[in-house]
Amino acid sequence: MTFPAIDWIAVLPLLLVACLGVVCLGVGLFVDDDEVLGWGALVGLGVTFITTAVLIGQHGSAFNGTLVLDGYALFFDLLILAVGCVVVLMSMSYVEETGIGAGEYYALLLFALSGMIVMASATDLILIFLGLEVMSISVYILAGAWRTQMRSNEAAMKYFLLGAFATGFLLYGIALIYGATGATRIDVIADKLGGVIDRHLLLAGVAMLLVAFGFKVAAVPFHMWTPDVYEGAPTSVTALMAVAVKSAGFAAFTRVFLRGFGGLHADWSMLLWVLAVATMTVGNVLALAQHNIKRMLAYSSIAHAGYILVALTAGGPTGGAAALFYLLAYAGMNLGAFGVVLALGRRGEPHEEIDDYAGLGFRSPLLGAAMAIFMLSLTGIPPLAGFAGKIYVFTAAVREGYYALAVIGVINSVISAGYYVRVLVVMFMTPGAVDVVRASRRPYLFTSIVFSAVVTVLIGVFPAPWLELARLSFLSQP
């Protein structure tokens, strides 16, 4: 029996993370010290990150070309791994305080990351499906990881039910496309689009995929789960969902639609246009009405998905690069925001109401300044990462002639200022008394917040290299 030739380089990041997860799970059975496990996961992820970074510039493919290592995959691998590192940092004290089983927590986190890496690297719909499921199933459990909390259970339940429901659509979509083109490989599909095929079948499949991906990235109207799940899940998991899961979702979404269905752009751009507008608007308008900061951030993440959809609607290399860059910028600021949410909580008192932030800005200047940076960046104020991201997204839209979309986008930015700035109002302009656990007692968490803040400023002030990275990564798809 002969194995098909495997380019080990192509699967190296995946392999490392997956193995790390297994090790974690195993060690977790015997080691009780949460911090050791956390450090293990962190170091492992760090090593993987470095190893992956070394691979930059390499190309490889495995499993009959269904899994590739191109710049695009590397971009997302690195992004996901970095996010993973930060989330682990954030989880260290949180896991301990909430009593979540550290072994399975980190293991599931790593499995989820490995699923994401598959999604980023896969060039076959089936592999994307597998990656997505590996990721999703892990995250379902993570969402319910705080087993004693009813809210956590409910979040897991809702996420699971709707996720499984969406899986049905994803599969149906794959099936229809398979039926129409006879292939599941993205490049093959792209090649066959011009040929004689059943367009109805194909387009129905495209629509189904749109539904499924829309669910994963929380696009309206497939977003309903997001606020509930984000609110109910443990905060560190919410951060993971808001950043990493969304990035992975967009990784697959972008590759499939811009690379695979690029030839059908005229057919799906209108739909995506509507989705983008709806997503931005609903996300922002509903975020205005929230009192719980996690729920507010959930709607905010919906809105940001909308901005990225604008980039996808624009399509082409510009749109693709803009989407990639936006995800990068979004990762830093959003992780940071969740970090601050974590920092405000303490054992038994989550302090998740926005009003709990009253007076925080001057009582805890570091947290205040960091949160201000994140909120302003999310609003899109220069010279922060969020602004750079929006600029490139709207540039893409304008270049491709989607002026109305750009205008609606900026109007949405204005609306978003309403709720982001409200956090600043509460933090800096109203008196309050919620005490914050000292930074020295949560060194990892604060490290992650400062790191996110630095990245947010850095990307904003010097966007050029990151932008170039995003552009080249997008173009490197085979």
Nearest to 298 by CA among 223, 351, 248: 223
Query: Binders of other proteins among 381-440, rule CB under 8 A?
Result: 381-383, 387, 391-392, 394-395, 398-399, 403, 406-407, 410-411, 413-415, 417-418, 421, 424-425, 428-430
Q: How far apart are CA 38 and CA 231, in angstroms?
A: 24
154 in contact with other proteins (CB under 8 A): yes
Q: Compute the least distance from the CB of residue 440 to other proteins, in Å.
A: 19
**Judged by CB, which is closer to other proteins: 38, or 315?**
315
Q: Compute the least distance from the CB of residue 202 to other proteins, in Å.
A: 9
Q: Which of 150, 263, 435, 478 binds other proteins (CB under 8 A)?
A: 150
Q: How many residues bind other proteins (CB under 8 A)?
A: 103
Q: How far apart are CA 472 and CA 149, in angstroms?
A: 45
**Judged by CB, which is closer to other proteins: 82, or 426?**
426
Query: Binders of other proteins among 12-71, rule CB under 8 A?
Result: none
Q: Compute the least distance from the CB of residue 39 to other proteins, in Å.
A: 28
Q: Compute the least distance from the CB of residue 158 to other proteins, in Å.
A: 5
Query: Binders of other proteins among 284-323, rule CB under 8 A?
Result: 285-290
Query: Binders of other proteins among 267-286, rule CB under 8 A?
Result: 267, 270-271, 282, 285-286
Query: Binders of other proteins among 173-192, rule CB under 8 A?
Result: 174-176, 178-179, 182-184
**Judged by CB, which is closer to other proteins: 42, or 333?**
333
Q: Compute the least distance from the CB of residue 152 to other proteins, in Å.
A: 9
Q: Compute the least distance from the CB of residue 414 to other proteins, in Å.
A: 4
Query: Binders of other proteins among 211-250, rule CB under 8 A?
Result: 211, 214-215, 220-222, 224-225, 227-229, 231-232
Residue with tokens 């969406």: 166
**Judged by CB, which is closer to other proteins: 42, or 470?**
470
Q: How far apart are CA 205 and CA 72, in angstroms?
A: 24
Q: Compute the least distance from the CB of residue 155 to other proteins, in Å.
A: 6
Q: How far apart are CA 308 and CA 334, in angstroms?
A: 14
**Judged by CB, which is closer to other proteins: 299, or 444?**
299
Q: Which of 14, 102, 137, 358 binds other proteins (CB under 8 A)?
A: 137
